[in-house]
Amino acid sequence: MRLTRMSMAFRFCTLSSISPRLHSASAVLYRQMSTDAKSVADRLSSSGFIRSQGLIGGKWTDAYDGKTIEVCNPATGEVITNVSCMGGKETNDAIESAHNAFVSWSKLTAAERSKYLRKWFDLIMAHKEELGQLMTLEQGKPLREAIGEVSYGASFIEFYAEEAKRVYGDIIPATLPDRRLFVLKQPIGVVGAITPWNFPLAMITRKVAPALACGCTVVIKPSELTPLTALAAAELSIQAGIPPGAVNVVMGNAIDIGDALVASPKVRKITFTGSTNVGKKLMAGAAGTVKKVSLELGGNAPCIIFDDADLDVALKGTLATKFRNSGQTCVCANRVLVQEGIFDKFANAFSKAVESMKVGDGFGEGVSNQIILLLIFHAGPSD
């Protein structure tokens, strides 16, 4: 990220030059091992909250070839567990399962589907501490922020549990006296949902809840970096009584899974949050079977500070928009443009604020950022 003095004489100034202390401490912090993280992982594992298999047709399933991939704690590098590394065959079976479940799930009344979703919401909220801890383990965000995401993610389920009962049609004035025109809204079918690592729960519930509410069934492909939260949420959907096959989860070989989802004529919609390049490939692949596509891609978010800005407000806003989730969101500022007259004051205040941030294990007290630690350590100072 750059602080930039432009137009009316804005200038470039790298974040690495503003806050060198983050870089000098990164290697030391990277080697620190968190006993809290270890104890949390052991407790979640012993309670059965950590799942390592995919979910196909209501059954927990290993990869057919037995392959697994490691899921690591980004703060320590320690392996949390090994999960099934699935591919095209498993995905096709998940699609078939979702397709079969669609027949019965889509015929339920909206009120009935709403009850299942409400129960799922209640279970997630009842286990928000465990889900938050699991998210911090695999994704790295501070525990408080992770628990906040659980509530945020659950809110989508709550919202669509209510909206499920309000899927209205339309009556259209006819042009001929002996005609009646009306619109009925019906579920489209199987939905393939591909989600990123930065919001392991919220990006899933944001896609899955409306799909289920409408009567669709889903095949979820979470990031291979953060599959554990998705699997835990899927387990809670089973406990909520959502029928087998309505929710399926496959993870592992992203290319093979994605290819299977876009190629299958039984998948009628693709929803994806991620990079623009991958989104273009999914859109091109979906064209072959004329799927509906919903894409949330990339992001280009400048933060602009003018001379007449309230410095305190501008500082708080910039810190929030840049460092939320350690800067790993689609709406985080990727550059800051500061007008000449306020540049020095803002740069000094921003520098002090960044240096006061605590980077480390997400279970540590007062930690505000974690994943940026590994990005700095591996990639070096950014320009």
pLDDT digits (tens, 9 = 90+) for 231-265: 999 999 999 999 999 999 999 999 999 999 999 99
- Rounded CA-CA distance 222/192 in Å is 11
Whether pLDDT at 64 is above 90 = yes
What CATH fold (topology level) applies to the domain 47-297? Aldehyde Dehydrogenase; Chain A, domain 1 (3.40.605)
Q: CB of 169 within 8 A of CB of 185? A: yes
Convert 140-170 to b/e letters by CB count within 10 Å (16 or more is b).
bbbbebbbebbbebbbbbbbbbebbeeeeee
Mean pLDDT across 359-383: 53
Q: Using CA of residue 361, residue 367, residue 370, residue 373, what is the dihedral sign?
A: negative
Strands 68-72 and 170-172: unpaired
Whether pLDDT at 32 is above 50 = no
pLDDT of res. 301: 83
Q: Edge-to-edge, what's the strand order for the sheet holding 2-4?
A: 12-14, 2-4, 335-338, 302-305
Whether pLDDT at 379 is above 70 = no
pTM confidence score = 0.83
94-148 pLDDT tens trace: 999 999 999 999 999 999 999 999 999 999 999 999 999 999 999 988 888 899 9
- Rounded CA-CA distance 152/196 in Å is 16
Does residue 296 carry a catalytic annotation? yes
- Rounded CA-CA distance 252/88 in Å is 10
Query: Which residues are CB-neighbours of 176 under 8 A, at least 6 positions away?
Result: none
**162 to each of 101, 138, 149, 219, 237, how far by Cα in Å?**
22, 31, 20, 23, 17
- Residue 104 vs residue 25, higher pLDDT: 104
Average pLDDT for the chain: 86
- Rounded CA-CA distance 145/326 in Å is 11
Q: CB of 50 within 8 A of CB of 134? A: yes
Strands 68-72 and 247-249: unpaired
298-352 pLDDT tens trace: 878 889 999 999 999 999 999 888 888 777 887 788 889 999 999 999 999 999 9
pLDDT of res. 3: 59
Whether pLDDT at 220 is above 80 = yes
Mean pLDDT across 49-64: 96
Please state at what angle helix 228-239 crosses helix 202-214, rounded to 10 degrees: 30
Q: CB neighbours (10 Å) of residue 341?
A: 15
pLDDT of res. 358: 79
Whether pLDDT at 221 is above 60 = yes
**309 to each of 61, 313, 347, 352, how far by Cα in Å?**
56, 8, 14, 19
264-286 pLDDT tens trace: 999 999 999 999 999 999 999 99
For 172, the token pair is 């259209």
The amino acid at residue 292 is K
Percentage of residues in the chain having pLDDT higher than 70? 86
- Rounded CA-CA distance 32/120 in Å is 37
Catalytic pick among 162, 296, 340, 355: 296
In the chain the first and final C-alpha atoms are separated, in Å, by 7
What is the helix (H) or strand (E) element at residue 70, kind and residue range?
strand 68-72
pLDDT of res. 189: 97
Query: Which residues are CB-neighbours of 110 under 8 A, at least 6 positions away?
Result: 164, 165, 166, 167, 213, 215
CATH code matching the domain that covers 2-31+300-336+349-379, chosen among 1.10.1240.10, 3.40.50.1000, 3.40.225.10, 3.40.309.10: 3.40.309.10
Give 269's DSSP letter: E
Domain boundaries, the chain: 2-31+300-336+349-379, 47-297
The amino acid at residue 304 is I
Mean pLDDT across 71-91: 94
Mean pLDDT across 39-57: 89
Q: CB of 337 within 8 A of CB of 303? A: yes
CA dihedral 109, 235, 53, 60 (to 10 degrees): -60
Q: Edge-to-edge, what's the strand order for the sheet holding 217-221?
A: 59-61, 54-56, 247-249, 217-221, 190-194, 267-274, 292-297
| Residue entry with tokens 């800051």 | 336
